[in-house]
Chain A
Amino acid sequence: MTESAESDWKQVLEKALPSANLRWSEFRNQHRVDVPASAIVAVLTALRDAGMDQLCDLTAVDLLEYPGATDRFEVVYLLLNTTSGQRLTVRTHLNEPDLKIPSAVPIWFGADWLEREVYDMYGIVFEGHPNFKRLLLPEAFESFPMRKDYPVKGRGERHNFPIITRAES
């Protein structure tokens, strides 16, 4: 991504949201913008209208053990313009107990399963999602395994099944 690309997106966002508090950063030519959670839909819509036609990925990070972090969760949107190949990362932060963020499904329908996966793993609720439930884990599962306070080996759920012996089968 070239230097001008960043300023393009900057202009787009400044025009759409003159008052929003956006922080831009860059690492190895990858541009990122941190936006407040309240402005996320406006930002994503503005970017989509300006040419970011694909939501490449949507994920979250639990910052519980991250050195120097002040927020608990970070939701990350990786956007892509499929014609020019430009990429932009949009990040926003969430804190307990208010783990709610508006859904991006109306903007890119590809966000559907990605959001459900994030809920499955982190417990972040996407409001306005058409079919919101767990994606990967069983409905009866109670924890959110990708959170940092959940142990790698689980809390014994994997042992909690009936046993079938030879005599019974």
Chain B
Amino acid sequence: MATQINKQLGDNIFLTTLDAAASWARANSLWPMPFATACCGIELMSTAASRHDLSRFGSEVMRFTPRQCDLMIVAGRVVMKMIPVLQRIWMQMPEPKWCISMGACACSGGVFDTYAVVQGIDRFIPVDVYVPGCPPRPEQLIRAIMDLQDKIKKTGTYNAREFQLRILPDGPKRFDEDELMRIRERNGLKLDDHKYDPIH
């Protein structure tokens, strides 16, 4: 029996786990959602354009609707008025999803330590890969995508391991909540009555 199959199929069979196969497929066909707000967005464009050609890495299918995407690239600073939009788009993306924070501004506020700029998007949404630089070179972004692919290949789907991981307190910690409370109290601001609810 076994020899029969062997004869028919020859070397054309590979054995692997379903997890690995699914992760491999996912990692190499990322559909990014370019959340390009500022200068980093232009570098994101040049990464996708002729010279650097992101499609060599299987993630050039930029889709502008969150429903079709599994990777959000936040390129540029996110400010007070934009963060509810960002959160809403993040919530609209289907699982499994990943996020790359591109540029100093998205990671930490960068040079803009001002009243309007959110000091790092990881305070408000989860982030998988951080890319430093102002703006990062296209090569750096490509490297980040490769790193993300490595990360994706480590998760699986058969036993829904990635969803388990999502509940574990991994990844970036929440923004120091004591500090947050202090700032809010000092200024008489309450979270409960904020005016812009991102999810509804």
Contacts and interface: CB of A to CB of B under 8 A. Distances in A.
Most buried by B among A139, A150, A158: A158
Contacts of A158: 80, 115-119
Contact of A162 (B114, B116, B194): B194
Interface string A125-169: 000000000000111110001000011111111111111111101
Contacts, number: 95
Interface stretch (B50-58, B120-128, B144-152): B120-128
Nearest to A152: B114
A152 B115 CA distance: 6
Contacts of B165: 166
B115 A157 contact: yes
A162 B124 contact: yes
B161 interface: no
Interface stretch (B11-19, B82-90, B100-108): B82-90
Interface residues of B, number: 39
Interface residues of A, number: 25
A150 B115 CA distance: 9
Contacts of B119: 158-159
Given A152-B113, A153-B114, A162-B198, A138 B174 contact: no
Contact of B125 (A139, A141, A169): A169
A123 B117 CA distance: 21
B25 interface: no
Contacts of A153: 113-115
B80 A169 contact: no
A166 B166 contact: yes
B64 interface: no
Contacts of B194: 140, 160-162
A169 B180 contact: no
Interface in A52-71: none
A163 B124 contact: yes
A144 to B, nearest CB: 11
A164 B167 contact: no
